[in-house]
Structure 1
């Protein structure tokens, strides 16, 4: 038996230590007013807060266990996977990419040596890709995003497959109807949005430090590199205008809409598991992976 559903689609503080930046020019006044970590480094509260929303959601959702023993477990995991708001996750992706790009010392040094690029980068995010070290910074950002998206998508496929195997257990085929069905959907909708955890700062720092490089400057990666450059220069206001990317934002919104529609149509517990795996995990995971790929050109 197959799930009979369509397959459509606070702020945390973090210290980002930049290796090789022991000798550098004096920062602009705005940066000098910020707290400095022992031994040097760069502190940014807003950027890290946005990146934490992305890191926390992808980590928590990817950790969902594909084994299910009863409806109570399903309900809890349905809410865990609903823990993102599309626009917040869209900005979080770009912030996460920016923090990864800032781990490239050569890029950071080049930004500090070219302070006049701020205006160009604010007007055109792709301008940051022409800076020395930007290719390596983009590769770091690409790899960082891809890791999160691939892990989430793979976990979602495991849960989706469990919606088939769990049907051997009679409780999974029980019908969900009436007030119980409405309450379950309402609980999922209320779960949306990032809720900070005291340990998120350390988890974000550890995730960014994983490193790795992967080629390709997608629109999201390009914005991440641009935001990194502007943040290093203390141009936080200009960076805020780059925290959206239409293609990726639309992908995340469709995934969330499909999740809600799927649950609204589901009539059994195993169908809930299917909705969870496909639309709440695999779909947003694929959105993140797709966000690392260059935009397709018209006609291709």
Structure 2
């Protein structure tokens, strides 16, 4: 036998031996009974459990909650003096981590919520929908940016939203003055004159945080989804009405509904300033979507698109950059409130105020 044939025979013998051993080992396993097979089959079957579908949050309310969170942070600063370094740093983190695009979208969404409370405008939107159909109305919104403002009551509705914005801008200016005053009074305290540390690194952190943005407070989201939020929004910016942000306490069952009898309606709606027409158009468009049922009427994409606007977001982005540069140039703790008042409050307020006159 040649070496090649011997090697082939040896290999075949080993293969047969291994196969026989494996077969013998397999034979030691008892065959499954019918019951065992059924049990194994049942164990392999997937378990199907009941589930519920949570409805998607309203995009307008969700966006507005970011702006409401900013205003809630302003309320915290407005109601409490700085008493230590931690308080100053907390305020800086809250206001300095706002994302300009998200804050701008939040303000426009909030303005649309206010505009959608106009009875005349709501009735006109429903009339157009009833006569021409919802598809016709939505198509008009998507093909003509000024379509919503042409609907009866559109100018008045937008004017009410601008009044609310002007009231917010005034509130921010007043709070800014209060905060900047503390930059002077705090110099009497030793802790406030302490070294800030690496201000450049602090400014860099603020920049990084602002790229992500500040998450909306859950209580603000809850408040804006409350069934009776409309009664609060309908008084925004009106003479004799308290600030909306004093009325929104943060939970659906604790909204402070305003006594309408104490409010005068003598203040006429503000007009849109030159160059800000596109902002007013978007507010009106979003208000129509709100009346129709927001995303239920058109899908989320058109609503999200209408909230995107360059003028206000660009202005707020510049305010954030100025805040970061101001912080980078500070050396002592008492200087931080000045940066907050000047850029995180007053400058943001001016971005809102310039839309109307």
The 1:189–1:162 alpha-carbon spacing in structure 2 relative to 1, beyond 3 Å, is farther
Aligned to 2:280: 221
CA–CA distance in structure 1, aligned partners of residues 356 and 67 of structure 2: 15
The structure number with the bigger radius of gyration is 2
The reply on whether 1:235 has 2:298 as its aligned counterpart is yes
Aligned to 1:28: none
TM-fit CA distance, 1:188: 7.3
Aligned to 2:108: 94
The question of whether the paired residues in 2 share the 8 Å contact of 1:75 and 1:184 is answered with no
The reply on whether 1:171 has 2:191 as its aligned counterpart is yes
Aligned to 2:262: none
Pick one of 210, 220, 229 that aligns with 2:235.
210
Q: TM-score normalized by structure 1?
A: 0.74
TM-fit CA distance, 1:163: 0.8
Aligned to 2:205: 186
The question of whether the paired residues in 1 share the 8 Å contact of 2:66 and 2:217 is answered with no
The 1:209–1:132 alpha-carbon spacing in structure 2 relative to 1, beyond 3 Å, is closer
Pick one of 58, 65, 84 that aligns with 1:70.
84
- Mark the runs of 5 or more structure 2 residues left unpaired by the alignment: 1-53, 130-135, 239-267
The 1:281–1:62 alpha-carbon spacing in structure 2 relative to 1, beyond 3 Å, is farther
CA–CA distance in structure 2, aligned partners of residues 62 and 244 of structure 1: 26
CA–CA distance in structure 1, aligned partners of residues 214 and 144 of structure 2: 29
Q: Comparing 149-158 with 46-55, which one deviates more in the overlay?
A: 149-158
The 1:186–1:175 alpha-carbon spacing in structure 2 relative to 1, beyond 3 Å, is same
The question of whether the paired residues in 2 share the 8 Å contact of 1:61 and 1:80 is answered with no
CA–CA distance in structure 1, aligned partners of residues 165 and 233 of structure 2: 10
CA–CA distance in structure 1, aligned partners of residues 154 and 178 of structure 2: 36
Q: Comparing 128-137 with 45-54, which one deviates more in the overlay?
A: 128-137
- Mark the runs of 5 or more structure 1 residues left unpaired by the alignment: 1-33, 36-42, 294-300
**Structure with greater helix percent:** 2
- Aligned to 2:146, the other structure's residue is in SS state helix
CA–CA distance in structure 1, aligned partners of residues 114 and 154 of structure 2: 12
Pick one of 49, 54, 60 that aligns with 2:73.
60
CA–CA distance in structure 2, aligned partners of residues 163 and 69 of structure 1: 12
Q: How much is the aligned-residue C-alpha RMSD, in angstroms? A: 2.7
TM-fit CA distance, 1:101: 1.2
CA–CA distance in structure 1, aligned partners of residues 113 and 102 of structure 2: 16
The question of whether the paired residues in 1 share the 8 Å contact of 2:202 and 2:328 is answered with no
CA–CA distance in structure 1, aligned partners of residues 138 and 341 of structure 2: 42
TM-fit CA distance, 1:90: 1.2
The 5 Å alignment of 1:281-300 reads 281-293=345-357
The reply on whether 1:109 has 2:134 as its aligned counterpart is no
Q: TM-score normalized by structure 2?
A: 0.63
TM-fit CA distance, 1:289: 1.8
The question of whether the paired residues in 1 share the 8 Å contact of 2:102 and 2:213 is answered with yes
